[in-house]
């Protein structure tokens, strides 16, 4: 079925829309930044308020998990389709829809009076988040001159880190002062401001053309990704040998093969498979999955280690855990400038090596060390992540064609999410087995076994990060590709 759509951002006075002659950021990027900040703040806030929401809505822990899971499933299922549709119907138009959907859904979440409604509106939030994530960075890259692209990506990485870092503290204040509803309602003013700034300051030229929207491809990819997400999240509780888990993962594989074959036959496919013939793009997406498989363990395992093995109080655990995101916030803009100066691929390669070194150091930690022992190790990993994120975005956006930027931006976000899901499930299972948590009474285990498992996980992380670095060794691309030239 054919439909009239818009392909936006094809002709634009770049310097006038985002930066002046000195590269000073203008309101367009501010609107995009606020939307990304709002979305990441919401994600980290909800995790803090989950126990309170479960109690307040008189539901079970299993049901309460869907407050988080439904958001992640919808986001993962539709993020790629959202990016492609943005390339087809106009990035600005769809991005504004995403902000509006997320803001209205946040209001409805705050007004929900039972668990079913909260799950429903969290799913709607996930749809809005898919549009924001997939198109925000694509719009920013379209509007930014190449010489300032690293700086812009650094700013977006900074506000993302600020949202993640600020979530626990902001959530705690809102939760204790105004109740769990305020954790969603706080998004409303952010959403209104982001919508207004984007609507007013992003002036885009468009070209009308008739295209086919691959609805079958969208649904097939969404179903395949949903099976993967559900299957991976069930591994930790039910085990890899569980029939339901095996069925979901097998369905994922079958769905992926069917999707690729279907897309290869389509005249107007959702995804042009030939994109992945570009080794720079395909390797960077694989590396992103690997890096975020490693990075998610710095989120899910340290709280367990610090409280159960190092015997830190909950307050101290919270303070220590805030250090990594703060390092990322402090150096994100510098990462962009350094990427612009020394080359995104070079900076990204050494950043992944730094992550590997930090993980290797973390694999030697013991409870006998004081809190500084953890801080300097996680600081190395956080610094590596900081100098990986911005160049990673920049490399993909530099080589993407104008009608592929929305799609590739969404694939970057998707690869991060898939890495986080994979790392949470696989590393969680390995940690449970090595520490004996799965066999211990009431889920407890000795500090010694927890430390052993923690160290072995990070030793494994070091090898994964090293392998990722080898995939993006910059000399390989200099010899086989010519992407450094404008």
Which of 204, 212, 345 minimizes the C-alpha distance to 267? 212
Tens-of-pLDDT digits for all 486 residues of the chain?
333 333 333 333 333 334 444 443 467 788 888 888 888 888 777 766 776 787 888 876 556 667 877 887 788 777 777 777 776 777 788 889 999 999 999 999 999 888 889 989 999 999 999 888 878 877 877 776 666 666 777 777 777 777 776 766 677 678 778 888 888 999 999 999 999 988 887 765 544 455 566 778 878 877 887 788 788 777 767 777 889 989 999 999 999 899 888 888 887 776 777 777 777 888 888 999 999 999 888 877 887 788 788 888 766 776 777 788 778 777 776 777 787 788 878 888 999 999 999 999 999 999 888 888 999 999 999 999 988 987 887 777 777 666 666 667 777 877 888 888 788 778 877 887 788 755 443 345 788 888 999 999 999 999 999 999 998 886 644 444 443 333
CA distances from 263 to 246, 258, 444 (A): 26, 9, 49
What pLDDT score does 45 carry?
Answer: 74
**How much is the pLDDT for 253?**
92
- In terms of Cα–Cα distance, which of 146, 187, 140, 160 is closest to 25? 140
Which tokens belong to 36?
A: 């990304």
What's the confidence (pLDDT) of residue 444?
A: 56
Which DSSP letter does residue 13 get? -
Q: Are the C-beta atoms of residues 390 and 149 closer than 8 Å to each other?
A: no
CATH topology of domain 273-486: Growth Hormone; Chain: A; (1.20.1250)
Say if pTM beats, i.e. exceeds, 0.85.
no
Q: Which residues pair with 35 in a beta bridge?
A: none
- Tell me if 91 sits within 8 A of 402, measured CB to CB: no
φ and ψ of 54, to 5 deg: -60, -45
| Fold match flag (1-213 vs 273-486) | yes
Q: DSSP letters of 327-390?
A: HHHHHHHHHHHHHHHH-HHHHHHHHHHHHHHHHHHHTT--TTS-HHHHHHHHHHHHHHHHHHHH
Fold designation for 1-213: Growth Hormone; Chain: A; (1.20.1250)
Return the structure tokens found at 19: 């930066």
Domain ranges, ordered by start, for the chain: 1-213, 215-265, 273-486
pLDDT of residue 437: 57
pLDDT value for 440: 42
DSSP state of 270: S
Contact between residue 49 and residue 180 where contact means Cβ atoms under 8 Å apart: yes
At residue 113, what are phi and psi to the nearest 5 degrees? -115, 0
């Amino acid at each position: 079925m054919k439909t009239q759509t818009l392909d936006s951002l094809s002709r634009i006075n770049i310097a006038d829309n985002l930066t002046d002659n000195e590269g000073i950021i203008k309101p367009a990027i501010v609107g995009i930044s606020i939307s990304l900040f709002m979305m990441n703040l919401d994600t980290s806030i909800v995790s803090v308020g989950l126990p309170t929401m479960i109690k307040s809505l008189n539901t079970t822990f299993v049901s309460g998990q869907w407050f988080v899971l439904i958001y992640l499933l919808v986001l993962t299922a539709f993020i790629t389709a959202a990016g492609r549709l943005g390339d087809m119907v106009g990035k600005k138009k769809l991005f504004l829809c995403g902000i509006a959907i997320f803001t209205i859904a946040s209001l409805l979440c705050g007004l929900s009076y039972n668990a079913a409604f909260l799950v429903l509106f969290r799913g709607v939030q996930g749809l809005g988040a898919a549009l924001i994530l997939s198109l925000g960075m694509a719009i920013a890259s379209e509007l930014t001159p190449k010489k300032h692209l690293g700086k812009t990506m650094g700013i977006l990485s900074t506000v993302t880190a600020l949202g993640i870092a600020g979530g626990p503290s902001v959530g705690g204040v809102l939760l204790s002062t105004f109740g769990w509803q305020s954790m969603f309602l706080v998004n409303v003013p952010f959403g209104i401001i982001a919508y207004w700034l984007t609507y007013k300051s992003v002036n885009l030229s468009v070209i009308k053309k008739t295209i086919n929207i691959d609805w079958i491809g969208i649904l097939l990819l969404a179903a395949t990704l949903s099976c993967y997400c559900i299957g991976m999240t069930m591994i930790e509780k039910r085990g890899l040998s569980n029939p339901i888990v095996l069925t979901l993962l097998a369905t994922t594989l079958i769905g992926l093969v069917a999707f690729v074959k279907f897309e290869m036959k389509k005249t107007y496919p959702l995804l042009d498979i030939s994109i992945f013939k570009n080794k720079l793009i395909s390797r960077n997406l694989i590396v992103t999955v690997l890096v975020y498989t490693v990075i998610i363990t710095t989120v899910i395992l340290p709280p367990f280690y610090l409280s159960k093995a190092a015997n830190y109080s909950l307050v101290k655990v919270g303070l220590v855990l805030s250090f990594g995101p703060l390092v990322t916030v402090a150096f994100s803009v510098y990462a962009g400038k350094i990427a612009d100066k020394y080359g995104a691929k070079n900076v990204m390669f050494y950043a992944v090596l730094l992550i590997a070194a930090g993980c290797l150091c973390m694999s030697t930690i013991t409870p006998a060390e004081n809190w500084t022992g953890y801080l300097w190790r996680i600081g190395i990993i956080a610094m590596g992540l900081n100098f990986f994120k911005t160049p990673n975005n920049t490399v993909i956006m530099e080589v993407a064609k104008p009608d592929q930027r929305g799609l590739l931006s969404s694939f970057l976000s998707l690869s991060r999410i898939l890495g986080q899901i994979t790392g949470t499930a696989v590393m969680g299972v390995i940690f449970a087995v090595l520490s004996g948590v799965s066999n211990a009474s009431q889920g407890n285990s000795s500090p010694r076994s927890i430390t052993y498992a923690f160290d072995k996980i990070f030793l494994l992380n070091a090898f994964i990060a090293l392998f990722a670095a080898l995939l993006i060794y910059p000399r390989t691309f200099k010899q086989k590709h010519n992407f450094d030239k404008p």
